[in-house]
Structure 1
Amino acid sequence: MDEPSFLEKASSNIGMSLGATLVAASASTYLAPFFPVLMGAFANGRYQKRVQKALNEINERLNENEDAVRNISDNQFKLVGEIISTTIHTTNEEKIEILQNAVINSISFTDIEEHEASLLSRALRDVTVREYHFLNDNIQFKEISVFDPPIDDHQLRDKQVVYLPASDESQLLNGLVNLGLIHRGHSGFGGGDFHYSYTKIGRELVNICQ
């Protein structure tokens, strides 16, 4: 038989119960305010199975990138650990998939600084699936504008998109501003008009979740 790899040796100490162990360890914290009633809820069982599956998949994908994982920096290690911690406390299956990709792609972020790692991990923890998709779908635009009142005959600039002030998109933009993923500034068209652009962390979040 082939000699076990570095990560296979490490994984053998955890075994196939990796996900179950971590989920069980976090469950008391996750449901502490309601213990013990919600511990027996069907939703809790679905949550634990979902997260256990995700963590086992992350472990397998990390094994496939053994050389890169072996040489990750302290800041990458911090980022990966915090994303996994967020995964353990996530109930939404699509958000879990986004976080799985972020864990694996973090391995290639070799020049990330500690401050960036903290900002990214915090944003990944708090961003909703809908906010992430909006961020991903609009990254092609250099300028995202909100007009109040809307200007019907306004000619869009190259790579500009315009949303109405009362639209869902406008609300999503406000949420992304609060997360530090979008920057808001005056558009130059009047008092209530704004334009939005991606921050460095906003672009990095999109890249890391691909």
Structure 2
Amino acid sequence: MLPKPTPLERAAGSLPLEVALTTFGAAAGGVLAPLLPGLANSIAAKRQEARISAAMQELQEIVARNEQSIRDLSDAQFKLINECVLAVLHTTDEQKIQQLKLAVQNCLTQTELEASEAIILGRVLRDLSAAEIAFLVDTFQYEGGIRLVEATEATIDGPSTLRIPINSPSALLVSGLMSLGLLVPSETGWGGTGNMTFSRSCAKLLALLKTGN
């Protein structure tokens, strides 16, 4: 007799997830191991196996605690949860895994999530680094956005604009947010001299990453 599906498998039982979980179970080190079989024998693969096993257990616990919300999932919520789980399988950063688990938890309350938003947020959550997420959380408070400048240290321009040295590590984080459409040029920014402001997707993304739910 086949074993009954776990709560996570019932909640996110799409074909891509089933393939990913099957592949992970067959080869340590995640979904890329079958393409490079030697990776499965590395110490890094063993560490990844432990990380993913622990994360999947916690995700199953989240689903089990929220069975009513799971039954009532919209298609958009269902898609975004699947995207987050698949992203976990590809992630080696423990902080990023924690952020993805938080997104799964908070997605359960996002009943007004639209299909287009699920597509964008799934892509962003997959590609953002943990450091970029932390930077976004810390800087979203600046209503005037961010400006890259020729300077030696970050300063605040007026009450609401963060000025960041163009050659600083933070500038690389800004570049990452821009590439994913989370920071966009303001009306005066297309020439490269104005501020960059946070896109509308940022508020939805931060709602998924907030703690305390």
TM-score range, shorter chain: 0.7 to 0.9
- Give the number of aligned pairs: 195
Matches within 5 A, 1:61-210: 61-149=62-150, 156-185=157-186, 187=188, 192-210=192-210
CA RMSD of aligned residues (A): 2.9
- Pair 142,25 (structure 1): closer, same or farther in 2 beyond 3 Å: farther
Q: Tell me: CA distance 1:164–1:70, structure 2 relative to 1, closer, same or farther (3 Å).
A: same
How does 1:28-67 map onto structure 2 within 5 Å?
Answer: 29-35=31-37, 37-67=38-68
Contact 1:181–1:202, Cα closer than 8 Å, also in 2: yes
Q: Structure 1 pair 56/43, CA: closer, same or farther in 2 (3 Å)? A: same
SS at match of 1:108: coil
Unmatched 5+ stretches in structure 1 = 1-8
Q: Distance in 2 between matches of 1:129 and 1:38?
A: 24
| CA deviation after TM superposition for structure 1 residue 20, in Å | 7.5
SS in 1 for 2:146: strand
Contact (CA 8 Å) 2:137, 2:206: kept in 1 or not?
yes
8 Å contact from structure 2 (residues 147, 194) kept in 1 = yes
Change (3 A) 1:22 1:28: closer
Larger Rg: 1
SS in 2 for 1:163: strand
Cα gap change, 1:120/1:20 in structure 2, threshold over 3 Å: closer, same or farther?
A: closer
TM-score normalised according to structure 2 size: 0.80
2-structure distance, mates of 1:134, 1:155: 15
Fraction of identical pairs, as percent: 28
Gaps of 5+ in 2: 10-17
**How far has the Cα of 1:59 moved from its partner?**
0.8
Maintained 8 Å contact 1:83/1:103 = yes
Alpha-carbon distance in structure 2 between the residues aligned to 1:46 and 1:106: 28
TM-score (norm 1): 0.81
Structure 1: distance between partners of 2:195 and 2:35: 42
What is the deviation of 1:146? 2.2
